[in-house]
């Protein structure tokens, strides 16, 4: 009877545990579904094809994601060290998107909705019939999940299999009698040279180019030519309809000339390789020098002009009349106005070229349309000329303002080169100081306190010039706190990231080996503790953190996070930094931050296969990820849990919570529920 009761009790406990595990499994998020294919090219050459279907609003980071950014997708191919086959370069990717991350200070490259990766391999040992691969990546929405899948490509049957369970993957290998020692090699790629086409933001480029065209229109080389052009078409056209036709042709040819220039840039560099310029040190330094030269030209140091003989020859062709004459008139406009439009066009081509693809063509289309439309309209309707402001010193003011903007933009390219080299010559404070100086001098210029060559004597300041000066001065004052660690969110993407700084912890906060200094107060680190965000003491080991919490009588805040987790950084920088949160994190809880993407390998004797997921646990990050899934049934980050000293939850867990007041309330509730 006792045996029967014991058996029933065992079944009850097992059933309850199974039910709990199934309930936990329902919380696991699996937003990506993979399939695999094999494409035979020849007896020795094959293509291994990975296809992913990604749920809406989720995205996977590309293998070409820049350093110091989110976790890139990586492959580990087995048997390559035993010379069974050769992996030919990085996998080719389907279309990706690109977006700047103010958290990491780099462009994120990612897939959304679907992804296809094609890897070329060449057999060295023709007896090889299966290629085995492990795939690692990060998939994010409001939270981030690190996932691992296993692929087996059967070259003989030309089919691929996908496994989520490491034991099943190993069993398949045994079944295929693959007895060679498995040595893994991670395939990496040179980011600056191998990135695939990404979303170029062509509409944004067109819009900015269109605005640049209007700016060029208001320079002293272009604006005065409007009445000359109108006079030409008025005299040459025998009827109003003929005049309208000629005016439209004139505008069309202006567009054609500039678009041809954009096409030439694309043809020289190649549409697919232009986007590599954004991280190429040499090109960024060359662009910096070019923009400084352009800025000096606009400020009056010298003029960039094409040879006069070119303009004379073109003028003679324009006198021929007809369609040919109109084309050469448009070409004459481009040549004569080059001293003003050249720096703007050059800057625009530099910026568009760094985006890649057909961006230079789109940029020149927007620029030329902004110039062509007014010329064509005034040629069609000469009466509108009476509404135009008269030429004067204000045109040179426009040119000088553009020169200051060119100079400020130049340092963005120099900063790009410095970030890639990690030379720390143009850190955040230095960059902001340079911009403060540039825009402060621009404000003084607009207020009439400084005059430059070619400026007309200024007897009074117009309301428009005063308003622009106040705007520039306000922007300058806004930047000044950035010298002491202010985030300057308006300038996200232009300034170097906060961690690329002389004082990454802010002025007055310094990290030292034996402790940390907060203003004048020094505190010693507990054993195994480290400095976390905002100088919060944090433990990266669970057991050490729990032991310390019991020692000091404080509740535990468990923080499942990742080094490449964007929303984890957003929470730390935008929520944890607020006083109503930061005070509690520093003084009322013991923070245990477990990084699920930590790459340090566990000792061989501590590596194991997860009973929960069936995946192989080889790194510290694997260990904490498996701990999160096994203990709490969740696999996404950020994920926050408040615990008492019995390791029981004090409050319901929290995930990505950008509302500061909501997170502060959640944190305070857990602290209030704690009883030491």
Are 471 and 465 within 8 A, CB to CB? Answer: no
Instruction: Choose the most confident range, by mean pLDDT, from 275-289, 334-348, 415-429.
Output: 415-429
DSSP codes, 32-67: EEEEEEEEE-SSSEEEEEEEEEE-TT-EEE-TTPPT
In a domain, 517, yes or no: no
In a domain, 417, yes or no: no
The CATH number covering residue 102 comes to 2.60.40.1250
* Mean pLDDT over the full length of the chain: 75
Are 633 and 24 within 8 A, CB to CB? Answer: yes
pLDDT band at 324 (very low <50, low <70, confident <90, very high): confident
Examine the domain organization and report whether 149 and 232 are in the same domain: no
Last residue in a domain, options 362, 390, 418: 390
Which domain does 233 fall in, by range? 202-390
Examine the domain organization and report whether 173 and 246 are in the same domain: no
Last residue in a domain, options 336, 365, 390: 390
More confident of the two residues 529 and 642: 642
Examine the domain organization and report whether 118 and 237 are in the same domain: no
Rounded distance between C-alpha atoms, residue 94 and residue 109, angstroms: 12
Residue 522 scores a pLDDT above 50: no
In a domain, 576, yes or no: yes
Tens of pLDDT along 180-219? 333 333 333 333 333 433 344 567 778 877 887 777 777 6
ω into residue 638 within 30 of 0, thus cis? yes
Identify the pLDDT of residue 1: 45
In a domain, 305, yes or no: yes
Rounded distance between C-alpha atoms, residue 490 and residue 439, angstroms: 15
pLDDT band at 496 (very low <50, low <70, confident <90, very high): confident
Q: What is the DSSP letter of 601?
A: B
In a domain, 468, yes or no: no
Residue 661 scores a pLDDT above 80: yes
Residue 65 scores a pLDDT above 90: no
Examine the domain organization and report whether 179 and 279 are in the same domain: no
The CATH number covering residue 535 comes to 3.40.30.10
Examine the domain organization and report whether 355 and 243 are in the same domain: yes
> E strands of 65-129, at which residues?
74-78, 85-87, 92-93, 97-101, 106-112, 114-123
In a domain, 506, yes or no: no
Q: What is the DSSP letter of 649?
A: B
Identify the pLDDT of residue 517: 42
Are 318 and 363 within 8 A, CB to CB? Answer: no
DSSP codes, 242-310: HHHHHHHHHHHHHHHHHHHHHHHHHHHH-TTTGGGGGG-HHHHHHHHHHHHHHHHHHHTS------HHH
Last residue in a domain, options 368, 390, 412: 390
Tens of pLDDT along 411-441? 887 887 786 566 778 888 899 999 999 999 9
Examine the domain organization and report whether 207 and 320 are in the same domain: yes
Average pLDDT over residues 444-473: 86
Tens of pLDDT along 537-576? 889 899 999 999 999 899 999 999 877 666 777 788 788 8
Residue 136 scores a pLDDT above 50: yes
In a domain, 495, yes or no: no
Rounded distance between C-alpha atoms, residue 109 and residue 337, angstroms: 39
Instruction: Choose the most confident range, by mean pLDDT, from 215-219, 244-248, 393-397, 634-638.
Output: 634-638
Examine the domain organization and report whether 217 and 282 are in the same domain: yes
Residue 72 CB coordination number (10 Å): 22
Are 374 and 260 within 8 A, CB to CB? Answer: no
Residues 6+ apart with CB under 8 A from 51: 34, 35, 36, 37, 114, 115, 116
Examine the domain organization and report whether 221 and 364 are in the same domain: yes
Q: What is the DSSP letter of 96?
A: B
Tens of pLDDT along 74-95? 888 876 555 678 888 888 998 8
Residues 6+ apart with CB under 8 A from 247: 233, 375, 376, 377, 379, 380
Are 641 and 632 within 8 A, CB to CB? Answer: yes
Structure tokens at 218: 């208001």
Examine the domain organization and report whether 186 and 282 are in the same domain: no
pLDDT band at 524 (very low <50, low <70, confident <90, very high): low
pLDDT band at 178 (very low <50, low <70, confident <90, very high): very low
Tens of pLDDT along 225-253? 666 666 666 555 556 677 677 777 877 88
In a domain, 249, yes or no: yes
Examine the domain organization and report whether 264 and 178 are in the same domain: no
Task: Report the number of distinct structural domains present in the chain.
Answer: 3
Rounded distance between C-alpha atoms, residue 340 and residue 139, angstroms: 47
Rounded distance between C-alpha atoms, residue 619 and residue 602, angstroms: 5
pTM of the model: 0.44
Tens of pLDDT along 373-383? 877 777 677 66
Residues 6+ apart with CB under 8 A from 357: 197, 200, 202, 271, 272, 274, 275
Quick one: 294 exposed, middle or buried, by C-beta within 10 A (0-12, 13-18, 19+)?
buried
Residue 282 CB coordination number (10 Å): 9
Examine the domain organization and report whether 150 and 277 are in the same domain: no
Examine the domain organization and report whether 338 and 386 are in the same domain: yes
Structure tokens at 33: 């579904």
Rounded distance between C-alpha atoms, residue 127 and residue 596, angstroms: 38
Residue 582 scores a pLDDT above 80: yes
């Amino acid at each position: 009877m006792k045996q029967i009761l014991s058996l029933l009790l065992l079944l009850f406990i097992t059933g309850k545990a199974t039910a709990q595990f199934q309930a936990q499994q329902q919380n696991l998020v699996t937003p990506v579904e993979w399939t695999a294919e094999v494409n035979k090219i020849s007896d020795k050459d094959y293509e291994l094809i990975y296809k992913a279907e990604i749920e809406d609003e989720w995205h996977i980071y590309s293998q070409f994601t820049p350093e110091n950014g989110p976790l890139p997708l990586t492959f580990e191919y087995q048997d390559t060290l035993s010379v069974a086959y050769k992996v030919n370069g990085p996998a080719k990717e389907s279309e990706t998107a690109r977006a700047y991350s103010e958290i990491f200070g780099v462009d994120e490259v990612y897939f959304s909705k679907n992804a296809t990766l094609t890897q070329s391999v060449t057999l060295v040992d023709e007896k090889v019939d299966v290629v085995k691969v492990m795939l690692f990546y990060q998939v994010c929405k409001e939270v981030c999940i690190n996932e691992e899948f296993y692929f087996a490509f059967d070259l003989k049957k030309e089919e691929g299999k996908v496994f989520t369970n490491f034991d099943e993957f190993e069993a398949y290998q045994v079944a295929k009698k693959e007895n060679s020692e498995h040595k893994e090699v991670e395939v990496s790629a040179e980011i600056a040279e191998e990135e695939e086409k990404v979303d170029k933001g062509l509409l944004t480029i067109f819009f900015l180019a269109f605005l640049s065209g209007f700016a060029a229109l208001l320079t002293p080389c272009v604006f005065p030519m409007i009445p000359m052009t109108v006079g030409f078409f008025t005299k040459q056209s025998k009827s109003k309809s003929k005049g309208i036709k000629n005016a439209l042709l004139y505008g069309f040819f202006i567009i054609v000339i500039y678009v041809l220039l954009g096409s030439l840039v694309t043809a020289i560099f190649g549409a697919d390789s232009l986007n590599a310029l954004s991280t190429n040190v040499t090109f960024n330094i060359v662009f910096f020098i070019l923009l400084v030269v352009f800025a000096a030209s606009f400020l009056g140091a010298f003029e960039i002009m094409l040879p006069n003989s070119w303009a004379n020859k073109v003028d003679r062709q324009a006198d021929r009349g007809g369609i040919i004459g109109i084309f050469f008139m448009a070409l004459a406009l481009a040549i004569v106005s080059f001293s003003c439009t050249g720096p703007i066009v050059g800057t625009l081509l530099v910026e568009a070229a760094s985006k890649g693809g057909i961006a230079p063509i789109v940029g020149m289309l927007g620029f030329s349309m902004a110039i062509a439309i007014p010329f064509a309209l005034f040629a069609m309707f000469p009466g509108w000329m009476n509404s135009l402001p008269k030429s004067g010193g204000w045109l040179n003011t426009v040119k000088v303002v553009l020169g200051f903007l060119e100079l400020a933009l130049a340092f963005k390219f120099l900063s790009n080169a410095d970030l890639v080299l990690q030379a720390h010559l143009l850190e955040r404070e230095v960059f902001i100081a340079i911009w403060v100086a540039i825009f402060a001098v621009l404000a003084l210029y607009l207020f009439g306190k400084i005059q430059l060559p070619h400026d007309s004597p200024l007897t009074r300041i117009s309301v428009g010039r005063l308003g622009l000066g106040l705007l520039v001065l306000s922007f300058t004052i806004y930047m000044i706190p950035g010298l002491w660690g202010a985030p300057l969110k308006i300038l996200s993407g232009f300034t170097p990231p906060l961690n690329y700084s002389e004082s990454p912890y802010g002025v007055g906060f310094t990290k030292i080996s034996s402790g940390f200094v907060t203003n004048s107060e020094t505190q010693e680190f507990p054993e195994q503790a480290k400095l976390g965000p905002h100088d919060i003491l944090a433990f990266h080991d669970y057991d050490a953190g729990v032991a310390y919490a019991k020692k000091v009588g404080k509740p535990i805040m468990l923080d499942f996070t990742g080094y490449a987790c964007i929303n984890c950084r957003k929470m730390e920088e935008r929520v944890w930094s607020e006083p109503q949160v930061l005070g509690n994190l520093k003084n009322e809880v013991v923070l245990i931050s477990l990084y699920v993407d930590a790459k340090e390998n566990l000792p061989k004797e501590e590596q194991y296969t997860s009973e929960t997921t069936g995946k192989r646990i080889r790194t510290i990050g694997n260990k904490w990820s498996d701990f999160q899934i096994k203990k709490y049934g969740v696999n996404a980050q950020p994920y926050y849990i408040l615990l008492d000293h019995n390791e029981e939850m004090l409050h319901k867990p929290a995930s990505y919570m950008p509302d500061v007041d909501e997170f502060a309330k959640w944190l305070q509730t857990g602290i209030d529920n704690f009883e030491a």
